[in-house]
Amino acid sequence: MENHLGNPVLSDDENEELIVEPVQGTLPDQSSKMCLLGHFLMERSIHFITMKIKLAAIWHPRRGLSVVECPTNRYIFQFYHLRDMGNVIKGGPWPFNRYLLILKELDEGVIPRHVNLDEVMICVQVYDIPVRFMFESLGKQLGNFIGKFVEFDCANNKGSWRNYMHV
């Protein structure tokens, strides 16, 4: 195969640095404040408009929601109230058409395709645990055995009638 370009060399005039200044005063709807980055655990793409309508109906954001489709089947969900975003994070994981939506808070200045979206927090119920073992220490051991322990749910792990534990 022939080399059609030869060996190009930049002259001193062409070898200049470009210094990019930070942009001041970006519009609120373009920032990543109160944004979640989402990815569906599937290989094919989904119908964007249907997903947007259904999730907005399920989440009920009081101040509204904007959804932007990104390359590589990722979506940016921007909320206009911190409580709305918090409710979505706490209420997850969220399914859509039998596929799991993995959500992660998007920090300002982060490029969405560089965000790792391969972990999801789920609540696990472990059954047939005798009451005398219903302690946080066992919950931590079970959580770390299954994956990564995050939180022991004290409110749901009390009472002699319980034979299961939320981890």
Bridge partner residues of 66 (DSSP): 78
What is the tens place of the pLDDT at every residue in 4-40? 556 666 666 666 665 555 444 343 445 568 999 999 9
Domain that holds residue 159: 125-166
Q: Structurally, how many domains does the chain consist of? A: 2
End-to-end CA distance of the chain: 61
Per-residue pLDDT tens digits for 56-98: 999 999 999 999 998 888 999 999 999 999 999 988 889 998 8
Residue 166: which of 127, 131, 133 has the closest Cα?
A: 127
Q: Give the pLDDT of residue 23.
A: 43
Over residues 120-150, the pLDDT tens digits come to 888 888 888 887 888 888 888 988 998 888 8
Residues 35 and 95 in one domain: yes
Is 1 part of any domain? no
Tokens for 39, please give them.
């990815």
Tell me: do 35 and 104 sit in the same domain.
Answer: yes
pTM of the full structure: 0.68
CATH number for the domain spanning 35: value is 3.30.70.330
User: E strands, the chain, where?
Assistant: 35-40, 65-70, 74-79, 94-96, 99-105, 125-127, 164-166
Residue with tokens 């109160």: 34
| Mean per-residue pLDDT of the chain | 80
Q: Are residues 53 and 83 in the same domain?
A: yes
